[in-house]
Amino acid sequence: MRHFKTILTHEFQNQIKSFKFTLVLAITLMVTVFCVYIQVQDFADRKEQYNQQIERKQDMLQRARVFSEFGIPIVIKPNPLSIFAKGYEEKLGNEITISWRNLPEFSRFDFMRKSKDTVGSNEKNPYLNIFTEFDVTRIVIIILSILTVFVAAPAISGERENKTLQLLYTNPVGRVEFFLAKYLGNLITLSIPLVFVFVSAAAMVALQPFIQVEPDFFLRVLLMMIGCLLFISVFTLLALIISTATSSSSRSLTYGLLVWMLLVFVYPNALQYTVEKNMEIPSLSRLEKKKSELYDAFAQAKDKFYQNHPLNKDRSYTIHKGGQFFTTFIGVTQKYVFKHKRKELKALLPELFEMQNKLMRAVDRYRSKLTQRQKLVDQLSLPLPNHLLEQTGTKLANTNRYARDIDIRNQARRFRGQVLDYIRSKDGFGYKFFTQTEPIHMTNDMEDYPDKYFQLSYYRKDYPRLDLQDRPKFTYKEPFQFPVEIFFLIGLNLLLIVLGSHLFSGSKVI
């Protein structure tokens, strides 16, 4: 390894002084600054929408007059790391309503919600789906990888073409030594634009006054950069292997580009396309049917209750049977009606929860089927360096399916348990579910109520609000998922180093 350092330094200096390196650096920087700047502006819009959602949440909490109205919307804050790896950040929604009525699901799967998602209720313009998302990882996957091929593909074939390889072998230089030095020289050269990409992007994100980065932001960015470096290293090795097997630099570049096209465009797209065309999306109609069955079963249980406990219409002035679940009265009612409603709630609330559990299980089954396709695509993409980098990026940014979907829903489910316990502890499923008038102050006849009770009727805005100061607070704990894909990338690199060295050792000089 006597000449290793000399060859490495020579290769690095050669590359760094070349026009193509300046071009690579300029293009990468230009695209990064442009894309990150606009992504940051987009983030500002998302943050603004988030702030509006928080205001709405506060308003919703302040408006609750009885516990039947009580619900806490969980709003997931936009994640600045999504600028680096977008993943599912904007695809699944960011709000889950936690209440006795709703399922702890994003609105798309909250089958207890009356109105379903439409385009209008989604903040994102759906027509922009026709364009590709450009985040930092994608810039590396598409642009830096092609530029890597562009820089590294002629590295050996060029020397062969110029006959400098022959000249070099007149000295006692080991072939493995030469290959490794070439590889490292190119990798160090290419790591410069990569570092520029990450430093400029991280600075542009972290310096914005409206973005508060978490303490581990830079650590995550650093790990992402390491992932990208390993990815670039794979492409450098592939380009060098092609360069080893070809005699002219333009030929190695052409083959290098073909391999790039195959890995970055053809294989991932063909795979996604083939899987999507061959595995049908499970129909929602079965889930809708299940929902209707469960609703019908609940309606029957309700009818049965009313048959066993008929409501005397002559004695019920303010209340009637209607309403999908439980009709609330909020203001005042006769003691008789209150007792009847409380009995109904006591009898039917467990039925409702049971129905919700069954519905949640049905939703889980549907979702599991729905995700089968993407899981299969992911499994079949496992050897692809771009897939490994994507996984690394989204895991570190917490925008992958686990963090953005499964984990949030699990946390929401646990939080719902706390909210229901809180409602119970406040007698929220007792009289406070319907009204703030304590049962001892209720009268048998509406006329026996003093006037002040009527002034606080349902439609009056001045009806006292619930004191919810001690309500459970939801804090979203972002998971830290170490990207094991980094090890796959390291393995892939080692494999290619061995293969490249072996091929180069056996290759012709001329």
Partner 1 sequence: MFIKEIIIKEIKENITTSKFLFLAGGVIVLFMLNAMVSLSDYQERLENYQSIRRAEQKAQKEQCEQFSNVVFHKLRVVKRPSAESFITHAKADKLPNGVKMDFFEISNPQYFKPLDIYSKSFISLDWTNILFYLISFLCLSLSYNALSGEKINRTLQLVLSNQVPRASVITGKFTGLFTLIMIPILIGMIIHIIIYQLSPEIAIEKTRPFIALFFTGMLLFVALNLLTGLLISSLTKQPMVSLSLCLIVWLVFAVVIPGTGWLWSKQMVEIQSVHSIKVRIARKSQELLKMNQYSLKSKSSWKGKAPTEGLLKRIHYKQKEQEIMNRLWHRRIQKQFQQTDHAIEFAKISPYAVFRFFGETISDNGYSGHKHFYHQVQNFHSTYKDFLRNRDQKYEDSYHKFWNESWMAPHWMSSKPINYEALPKFTYERPNFSETLRKAKGNILYLLLWCMVLFAGTFIAFVRYDVR
Contact set with partner 1 (CB under 8 A)? 20, 23, 27, 31, 34-35, 38-39, 41-42, 45, 49, 52-53, 56, 88, 91-92, 108, 118-123, 125-134, 142-143, 146, 150, 154, 158, 249-250, 253-254, 257-258, 261, 265, 268-270, 272-273, 276-277, 280-284, 370-371, 373-374, 377, 401
Name the residue among 477, 415, 374 with its Cα closest to residue 105: 415
Tokens of 384: 């692809």
The CA-based angle 473-84-74, given to 5 degrees, is 15
What is the nearest approach in angstroms of partner 1 to the Cβ of residue 301? 25
User: How far apart (Å, rounded) are the C-alpha atoms in residues 224 and 391?
Assistant: 10
Kindly write down the DSSP assignment for every residue of 56-70, as one continuous string.
HHHHHHHH--SGGG-
Phi-psi region of 450 (alpha: psi -120 to 50; beta: other; left: phi over 0): beta
If the CB atoms of residues 366 and 429 are measured against partner 1, the closer one turns out to be 366
If the CB atoms of residues 335 and 401 are measured against partner 1, the closer one turns out to be 401
What is the nearest approach in angstroms of partner 1 to the Cβ of residue 326? 20
Total residues belonging to the chain = 510
CB of 140 closer than 8 Å to CB of 36: no
If the CB atoms of residues 88 and 476 are measured against partner 1, the closer one turns out to be 88
What is the nearest approach in angstroms of partner 1 to the Cβ of residue 126? 6
If the CB atoms of residues 235 and 433 are measured against partner 1, the closer one turns out to be 235
Under DSSP, the state recorded for 75 is E
User: How far apart (Å, rounded) are the C-alpha atoms in residues 210 and 208?
Assistant: 5
What is the nearest approach in angstroms of partner 1 to the Cβ of residue 170? 25
If the CB atoms of residues 197 and 345 are measured against partner 1, the closer one turns out to be 197
**Amino acid code (one letter) for 359:** L
Does the CA dihedral 206-212-218-223 come out positive or negative? negative
The CA-based angle 383-386-390, given to 5 degrees, is 110
Under DSSP, the state recorded for 246 is -
If the CB atoms of residues 42 and 216 are measured against partner 1, the closer one turns out to be 42
What is the nearest approach in angstroms of partner 1 to the Cβ of residue 41? 5
Tokens of 15: 């590359």
What is the nearest approach in angstroms of partner 1 to the Cβ of residue 104? 18
What is the nearest approach in angstroms of partner 1 to the Cβ of residue 148? 12
If the CB atoms of residues 49 and 443 are measured against partner 1, the closer one turns out to be 49
User: How far apart (Å, rounded) are the C-alpha atoms in residues 249 and 75?
Assistant: 54
E strands present in 181-263:
none
What is the nearest approach in angstroms of partner 1 to the Cβ of residue 292? 15
The CA-based angle 182-498-249, given to 5 degrees, is 40
If the CB atoms of residues 285 and 425 are measured against partner 1, the closer one turns out to be 285
If the CB atoms of residues 128 and 510 are measured against partner 1, the closer one turns out to be 128
If the CB atoms of residues 100 and 106 are measured against partner 1, the closer one turns out to be 106
Beta-sheet pairing, 95-99 with 71-75: antiparallel
What is the nearest approach in angstroms of partner 1 to the Cβ of residue 398? 17
Name the residue among 38, 32, 21, 65 with its Cα closest to residue 332: 65
User: How far apart (Å, rounded) are the C-alpha atoms in residues 398 and 386?
Assistant: 18
What is the nearest approach in angstroms of partner 1 to the Cβ of residue 191? 20
